Structure 1
Amino acid sequence: MKKRVLIVEDDKFFRFAVKKVINWEKYGFEVVGEAVHGAKALGFLEENPVEVVVTDMSMPVMNGIELTAAIKERYPDILIIALSAYDDFEFVRESLKLGAEDYILKQDIEKEDVGAIIWKTWHKHFEKLINQSQSRTEILDFLSGKQDGEGRHFLELSVDNQWGYYLCRIRNLNEEWQSPECRKEVWMEQSLVELHEKRQHILLLPVIKEHSQKLQMEDRSKRLLELEGILKDEDYLAGCSSTGTEVTDLPAMSHEAECAAEMAKFSGKRRVLIWEYVRSEYESRNETFMEEKEAYAGICSIEQGKDALYQLTEKLRRMLCSEEYVQKNYLLFLNTIAKNMQHEMDKMRFAEIREELAGAARIEKKQEICSHYLETLFAECGSVTRHPGVQQAIRYMRENYSKDLSLGDIAGEAALNEGYFSGLFKKDTGKSITEYLNEIRMEKAKELLTESNLKNYEVAEQVGFRNASYFSTMFKKYTGMTIQEYRQSQAGRG
């Protein structure tokens, strides 16, 4: 959208010169009106919206100083540029105090590229305008698809028909930027729009529409390298959209950039990810992947735990899970290993870990948090080194609890005779094989009773009990509640 300009000048020959000599179209401006003095200009503004007023200082009826004051009172968003001759520069000085943002010497109209000067002044003015709290909120609402009003209008003013553009979203992972470059109001002179919140930042950068796609991509790559240079000392996630040509494309482009930045959580590198290069991975991601807890059966040493944690992290990296399921997987991992150690993780500890995981953006940071809690868990439980046969038996029971397992089956899996194995198992775990197996079965039964509508006898069969009545008796022994009481207690939580 072209920025509309009103020229206010009492000298008709100079008014014509301002209109014709300056290449308004080249810089995205359009002269929509002329006025011979300030009063006429105010009358025009009552009927016609404009973005820029270029006004002479010495005029009859209402001079430029009076006009500047009136515009700033009634239309504070309009950019005012003063026209000045050498002999009325005191007027210019006064108008700058009242709110004019730049001036042009009449003698320089034909000597300099005045259009470029006005464009630079407009750009600075526009940056101030969009970074006002209300304007910024309206733009962010438009980009998120919430409303189509003033936010769209502001963005239409930032572009014109010669530009295509792409959008970058940057998230600062620290409380504050570390480098002076990132604390500036404007990071890149070429930006059409820059919005800077404390932790979230948006840049709209231009490409020339008439250029081939190859040239546009080369130009974008060059600009993104420049952006990465600005961010080189920071910890951040950043994504870049595909190129668009219409303001109505921007909400979708903002979503693309956000999705690309989301992918950066898994990349392990500090760089701006481009949507076209990660789109296929993003669209084929397994957002709801959950590792089976049986994968952690028998893990009873810190070395095994750390190896399993590494394997889980690499799997989550490949699956590109949603944030919710990344957290669920890590919490299941820690909780299962705690149970392997006969250690009940209390609710406060669980909530603390969840909060820390939620506060960490990169997956390697989440892995680091889990590693810390894993070390704490083994420190609290003491150094446990279980016989390999016991570890294998626990793993076997967790994988086969639904079957009719005998002591002989379990001892055979451990490659030990039944008598020796029973004593060894009790010594290593503090529980008999039957007690340990029943605990695994009851743990799974509680999950099924909470998460499914299976009948009691169906739950019994799925956890390895062939007699539903015996299952009910054992359930009450282990939980202190009947099956019905347990179902009701879980329904109450929902």
Structure 2
Amino acid sequence: MIKVLIVDDDKLVRKGISSAMPWNEFGMEVVGEASNGAKALDFLESNSVDLMLTDLAMPVMSGIELMRAARQLYPELHIVVLTLHQDFDYIQEALRLGAIDYIAKVQLEKEQFEHVLNRIHTRICELANTRRKLPLLGETNVHYRKVYALVSLDRKSGQIWPIELESNVDEVRFEVERNSWMWATALNGEDQLFDRLKGYLDQIPQGSLLLLSDVQERTWSQIQNWIINYTESSLFYAYEPQDPVIAVSMNEEDSFPIEPQDEEMDRIKRSWFLSPWTHNDHYYNQLVEEFKSLRLQKGQLMGLLYSLVMEWNHLFAQTTLGRISMIHSFQSWYEVEQWIKQTSESIRKADEQTSYSQEMIDGVKKAVMIMQNDLDQAFTASGLSQQLNISRSYFSQCFKDIMGKTFNDYSRYIRMEKSKEYLLNTNNTIFWIAERVGYTDEKYFSRIFRELTGLLPSEYRQLGRGDK
């Protein structure tokens, strides 16, 4: 007998289907009912079921969510969808998830019962004659030397692949997770399977085909989890849209640092601001490799890029060097590298708008970074121009034209801006703050601060904090 579970949040529908349809005529019996997907999974865990009829729109756990979970846990379970006629999109998704048929509730009239059950019974018999019994996830793979996995970096958008994946009777196929599947087949079928899966790649957004070796003597669950971990980590850096086929061994292990070292981050920052990477291929490639070698996780990488862009725009947005745009989202290192390339072109175009040589522009950038990094030092235009091997008068003129302020005005401006941060965010004394921004005389510092802000440092702190 084919054991049937009926899942619908409407009790009348469940009772109607259970009592009215001629189950016995087709070798079927209803062994259980459930009002939502979660209760259905509980029933499946402790009862043998061959066929599940499920509604799609249910509270707690929808029919689509139930199908995903049930197909992973019980791959031999046949699923038929109960739906209203307007649920066409859900029907398409259900069929892609492996439903063998669907029943529109408006068809559930007495004269239709026999026709509906006959159609379902015929389909189950056809599958029984052609379907190869899948191993359980806990079983060990001893037969297959390779596993092929179709995965996508676009794992969060909710898009459904616009293709219907196929499997031959002599192949093993598991759903790894949403938009991620794995196959295995005998040695003589590997080339055919590879060609078929490779043909799907053009239709899968940011898709890759993984050729996974060293998979024997591992459980299918271990293989599944390895693919999930690889997709979340290493695939980010391995993905190339021009070559989306990736051969990888399960013996390879990911080794991401928990946190990047400070010296590594400082090296990136120095390269970004001080090296001529925007117009020199050698320095550009070096910067890209420095980024990539950190193997930062996606969130860490976004944080680093954000800090670089924010600091650049803080320093140069109001100058002829211009503002750069932040990358708002990315799925792979390839996209990050494309953004770095576009940013390089943007900076280079801004540089070309000035009448100065690239060497002079880079000299001004270096001067700005030196001043920003050592605010407690009393830099002068004469000292910095000598350090950069540029004549003082020419350096002063270039600095003013590029940065929009004279050297002295800019030096005073950045020191006062930093002192404002200290005043609002620390309880340190005015003397301490003055020293940290390059003033050894507290009274002179306070006079300069009032000239620029109209307030004494103590008044600025009090007003900014809302003190009474």
Taking structure 1 as the reference length, the TM-score comes to 0.52
Match of 1:323 among 290, 293, 298: 298
- The percentage of counterpart residues that share the same residue type is 16
Match of 1:49 among 47, 50, 55: 47
In the aligned structure 2, how far is the partner of 1:43 from the partner of 1:420? 91
**Residue 236 (str. 1) matches residue 210 (str. 2):** no
- Label 1:45 to 1:162 Cα distance change in 2 as closer, same or farther (>3 A): farther
Instruction: Tell me by how many angstroms 1:411 deviates.
Output: 3.6
Give the corresponding residue for 1:87.
Answer: none
In the aligned structure 2, how far is the partner of 1:43 from the partner of 1:419? 94
**Residue 433 (str. 1) matches residue 415 (str. 2):** no
Structure in which a larger fraction of residues adopt helix: 1
- Label 1:354 to 1:220 Cα distance change in 2 as closer, same or farther (>3 A): same
- Label 1:401 to 1:158 Cα distance change in 2 as closer, same or farther (>3 A): same
**AA at the equivalent of 1:50:** S
**AA at the equivalent of 1:193:** F
Give the corresponding residue for 2:357.
Answer: 385
In the aligned structure 1, how far is the partner of 2:282 from the partner of 2:416? 28
The answer to whether the Cα contact below 8 Å between 2:274 and 2:365 also exists between their aligned partners in 1 is yes
- Label 1:103 to 1:300 Cα distance change in 2 as closer, same or farther (>3 A): closer
Matches within 5 A, 1:218-237: 227-228=197-198, 230-231=200-201, 236=206
Give the corresponding residue for 2:119.
Answer: 97
Instruction: Tell me by how many angstroms 1:319 deviates.
Output: 0.9
Between the two proteins, the alignment pairs up a number of residues equal to: 368
CA deviations on 1:72-121 (whole Å, 9 max, x unpaired) are 799xx9989xxxxxxxxxx99874435541437xxxxxxxxx96x2525x
**AA at the equivalent of 2:405:** K
In the aligned structure 2, how far is the partner of 1:333 from the partner of 1:322? 17
Instruction: Tell me by how many angstroms 1:267 deviates.
Output: 10
Matches within 5 A, 1:176-191: 183-189=162-168, 190-191=171-172
CA RMSD between the two structures: 5.8
**Residue 169 (str. 1) matches residue 151 (str. 2):** yes
**Residue 313 (str. 1) matches residue 325 (str. 2):** no
Match of 1:286 among 244, 260, 263: 260
Give the corresponding residue for 1:192.
Answer: 173
- Label 1:79 to 1:191 Cα distance change in 2 as closer, same or farther (>3 A): same
Secondary structure in structure 2 of the residue aligned to 1:353:
coil
Give the corresponding residue for 2:341.
Answer: 368
- Label 1:248 to 1:423 Cα distance change in 2 as closer, same or farther (>3 A): closer
**Residue 119 (str. 1) matches residue 101 (str. 2):** no
Match of 2:232 among 258, 283, 307: 258
**AA at the equivalent of 1:103:** C
Matches within 5 A, 1:9-20: none
Instruction: Tell me by how many angstroms 1:314 deviates.
Output: 2.4
**AA at the equivalent of 1:186:** L
Matches within 5 A, 1:396-435: 396-415=370-389, 422=396, 425-426=399-400, 429-435=403-409
Matches within 5 A, 1:138-153: none
Secondary structure in structure 1 of the residue aligned to 2:328:
helix
In the aligned structure 1, how far is the partner of 2:440 from the partner of 2:242? 50
**Residue 201 (str. 1) matches residue 179 (str. 2):** yes
Instruction: Tell me by how many angstroms 1:249 deviates.
Output: 8.0
In the aligned structure 1, how far is the partner of 2:464 from the partner of 2:314? 21
Gaps of 5+ in 1: 9-35, 54-70, 81-90, 105-113, 124-156, 209-214
Instruction: Tell me by how many angstroms 1:317 deviates.
Output: 1.0
- Label 1:267 to 1:402 Cα distance change in 2 as closer, same or farther (>3 A): farther
- Label 1:183 to 1:394 Cα distance change in 2 as closer, same or farther (>3 A): closer
Secondary structure in structure 1 of the residue aligned to 2:234:
helix
In the aligned structure 2, how far is the partner of 1:372 from the partner of 1:204? 41
The answer to whether the Cα contact below 8 Å between 2:375 and 2:415 also exists between their aligned partners in 1 is yes
In the aligned structure 2, how far is the partner of 1:337 from the partner of 1:96? 70
Matches within 5 A, 1:2-13: 6=2
Instruction: Tell me by how many angstroms 1:434 deviates.
Output: 2.0
- Label 1:44 to 1:390 Cα distance change in 2 as closer, same or farther (>3 A): closer
Instruction: Tell me by how many angstroms 1:252 deviates.
Output: 6.6
- Label 1:354 to 1:98 Cα distance change in 2 as closer, same or farther (>3 A): closer
The answer to whether the Cα contact below 8 Å between 1:193 and 1:204 also exists between their aligned partners in 2 is yes
Secondary structure in structure 2 of the residue aligned to 1:279:
coil
Instruction: Tell me by how many angstroms 1:315 deviates.
Output: 1.4
Instruction: Tell me by how many angstroms 1:312 deviates.
Output: 3.2
Instruction: Tell me by how many angstroms 1:38 deviates.
Output: 5.5
Q: Please tell me whether Structure 1 or Structure 2 has the larger radius of gyration of its CA atoms.
A: 1
In the aligned structure 1, how far is the partner of 2:81 from the partner of 2:309? 63
Which is further off, 447-456 or 457-466? 447-456
Which is further off, 91-100 or 436-445? 91-100
Matches within 5 A, 1:436-475: 436-442=410-416, 444-445=418-419, 456-475=430-449
Secondary structure in structure 2 of the residue aligned to 1:194:
strand
**AA at the equivalent of 1:204:** M
- Label 1:299 to 1:410 Cα distance change in 2 as closer, same or farther (>3 A): same
Taking structure 2 as the reference length, the TM-score comes to 0.54
Which is further off, 41-50 or 249-258? 41-50
Secondary structure in structure 2 of the residue aligned to 1:362:
helix
